[in-house]
Structure 1
């Protein structure tokens, strides 16, 4: 399994757990799937939890300066952000 695939699988599992999406809905997310403002489960409270879980599950540190609204617009944006953080 490639590092990018691990990040994708981890991120999908994380969203399934944190947002209560279930595995099927998380697996169905595409590059263009909207997150914040599109998924009712993905509200401002969920953002902090998602970031904390990303740090824990991916072994990364996310600074406040790293975070902007664009990251949460689509699944693809969130995935690319996570992959960049993992790669250092």
Structure 2
């Protein structure tokens, strides 16, 4: 079960709001960001290269935590600068991965 009460193995039932909420919590937990700061993220909020906490080492931890909590698989080929550039890009990537699983 995920923290939102939806079985992790049935991602087809996950709403965009649920994915958004989980992704924000993962960013807080992995990067040690303040919840209020992350709650203010919009689609254009810069991530990699904009948040000092999100360096190359943190990216690996972030992706691993996303896989674990959202029951998705992220291949090395999936990871590029565009998906980590903004919160909107990361959310869109995550939604697509959840839909695939």
Question: Unaligned stretches of 5+ in structure 1?
Answer: none
The two structures, once aligned, show a CA RMSD in angstroms of 1.2
Number of residue pairs matched by the alignment = 88
- The corresponding residue for 1:64 is 76
- The corresponding residue for 1:9 is 21
- The corresponding residue for 1:38 is 50
Question: Unaligned stretches of 5+ in structure 2?
Answer: 5-13
Q: Which is higher, the Rg of structure 1 or of structure 2? A: 2
Superposition deviation, residue 22 in structure 1:
1.6
TM-score normalised over the length of structure 2: 0.84
CA shift digits 1:6-51 (9 cap, x unpaired): 1100000000111111210110111000000101111111100010
Superposition deviation, residue 69 in structure 1:
1.0
Q: Does 1:79 align with 2:91?
A: yes
Higher helix share: 1
TM-score normalised over the length of structure 1: 0.95
- Aligned with 2:62: secondary structure? helix
